[in-house]
Structure 1
Amino acid sequence: MKTLLSILLLCLSLLLAAQTPHQHDYTGSHGMVLFAANDSLLVSHLPLYRPPHDYQLVYEVALPAGIQHAVLAQLQHNSLLTLLPADFDLRRMINANVFSVDADIYQGHFERGGERWLSGIAVTFRRQLYQRRLPDVNKLAENGSYTAFSHHDQLFLLHQIGTAPGYDHLLKVSALPPVLQFHHSTPQQVLGLIQQQGIQVQQLYLETQDFQP
């Protein structure tokens, strides 16, 4: 009986040990792109196909007042700013929690030659605006569909990333296009198709390298 119990306890401990890395892999480095909706700051999580990074997430965030003003001024000049928080559990964003974490802000993409501009800034994640999990990489999902969201009277389009080769694409528009599906179109073609409808469009972010086969 003792031998059987010992075996069961050993199996249980091995099972828990095997699960531990999976339970904690949500905690790590999760980069984001910063953008503005009038005087409000937003971030879009930079997803990847592999779990646990396979989530598109948009959040309203707040920085200390003086720093927020400086960041908004940079964004008004169409600067690309990316945010690299200290390691945290991505489930806090997935579950729409309110929380704070320190972060560095980069001019440019922090993984594409960007330069660190501000360090150790307290960022408060106030409100989740959008959440979507990327499709299973083993199941075909077309690229070309966009979702619309608004904040502080500003309109945005976010590409719903499909299977590889996909792309992460964030746009600011003056009005909603009547159709949000641009199948078999490149990001550049999408910009042209929206402009042809008399809609002003600004590309805030585009990433293709992370979504290749």
Structure 2
Amino acid sequence: MKHFYCMLILFTFSFLSAAEEKKELPPLNPAYQGEHGMVLMNRGSKIYATNFPSYKLPGDIQIVYKIDNPDVAFLNLVRDSELITIKPKAFNLQRLERGEEITVVADVYEGHYKKDGFKVYSERSIVFSDKLYSRKMKDLKPSGQWQEYDSIEINKTERIYVHKITQKPSFNHLIFVDLTSACMQRFKTSKRVPKVSELIYKFVNCGTLKQLYFDADAYQ
């Protein structure tokens, strides 16, 4: 009898856990449907994507994702180019905020697709496989000379540091670090929007660095 009750409790717990997993998420907010351009970044054999976050809908979320590496040629393109961006067909950004694995169809550009970029691929399937980071752009701190970064843990020693965009003027910055010592995630700069060289210098004692992306123009 004791064995029967134990089995009954275990079955009930498993049933409740399964029901919780199947609980439906709230519907997507259609205001997040749009053309969400991205920059592709590389470290080793891995490819990452981050969006161009904005202060208003539909792009007011900072996102960093790992994308599937489709082939060597694509990896080499991202690795060897100064800037690779994608112009996807419209999708809802909340799907990435939720951590879904999704496939988007996008044109791939060397350079910025909205500026002087050169189209390398048309309608390429891009698989967003693993969410690494998301941050809603609301209740932002005032702009100042103190800069704050979030840390994305890739493995035991590898990190991607993401600047927490503030109210205007601000900047978007991501840098990869293979740690050999601890990194400061809050530090003071010479001005509210410093040069990228000054930001890189702040991380120079942390380990092996790779500058991933910097943009200030969109946040002035």
TM-score range, shorter chain: 0.7 to 0.9
Q: How far apart are the structure 1 equivalents of 2:122 and 2:187?
A: 39
The answer to whether the 8 A contact 1:174-1:199 is kept is yes
Q: Does 1:199 pair with 2:203?
A: no
The equivalent position to 2:93 in structure 1, one of 90, 94, 97, is 90
User: CA distance change for structure 1 residues 93 and 199 in 2, over 3 Å: closer, same or farther?
Assistant: same
Q: Does 1:157 pair with 2:166?
A: no
The equivalent position to 1:38 in structure 2, one of 44, 66, 69, is 44
Q: How far apart are the structure 1 equivalents of 2:202 and 2:42?
A: 24
Which structure 2 residue ranges, 5 or more long, are not aligned? 1-28
Q: Does 1:127 pair with 2:136?
A: no
Provide the residue aligned with 1:14 in structure 2.
none
Provide the residue aligned with 1:5 in structure 2.
none
Q: What amino acid is the match of 1:165?
A: P
Provide the residue aligned with 2:175 in structure 1.
171
The equivalent position to 2:104 in structure 1, one of 80, 101, 104, is 101
Q: Tell me by how many angstroms 1:98 deviates.
A: 1.5
Q: Does 1:182 pair with 2:184?
A: no
Provide the residue aligned with 2:32 in structure 1.
26
Percent of matched pairs sharing the same residue: 26
Q: How far apart are the structure 1 equivalents of 2:183 and 2:65?
A: 25
The equivalent position to 1:145 in structure 2, one of 148, 163, 177, is 148
Residue correspondences, number: 186
Q: How far apart are the structure 1 equivalents of 2:122 and 2:182?
A: 39
Q: What amino acid is the match of 1:181?
A: R
Alignment of 1:3-18 (within 5 A): none
Provide the residue aligned with 2:10 in structure 1.
none
Q: How far apart are the structure 1 equivalents of 2:59 and 2:187?
A: 25
The answer to whether the 8 A contact 2:175-2:212 is kept is yes
Q: Which moved more, 1:116-125 or 1:141-150?
A: 141-150
Q: What amino acid is the match of 2:210?
A: Q
Q: Tell me by how many angstroms 1:51 deviates.
A: 2.1
Q: Tell me by how many angstroms 1:47 deviates.
A: 0.3
Residues 70-124 of structure 1: per-residue CA shift (max 9 Å, x gap)? 1211233253111111111111111111121111111011123111111111111
3-state DSSP class of the match of 1:182?
strand
Q: What amino acid is the match of 2:131?
A: Q
Q: How far apart are the structure 2 equivalents of 1:156 and 1:70?
A: 24
Residues 164-203 of structure 1: per-residue CA shift (max 9 Å, x gap)? 10101111223264311123342332212222x2633222
Residues 129-161 of structure 1: per-residue CA shift (max 9 Å, x gap)? 101112336x62656111121336642211111
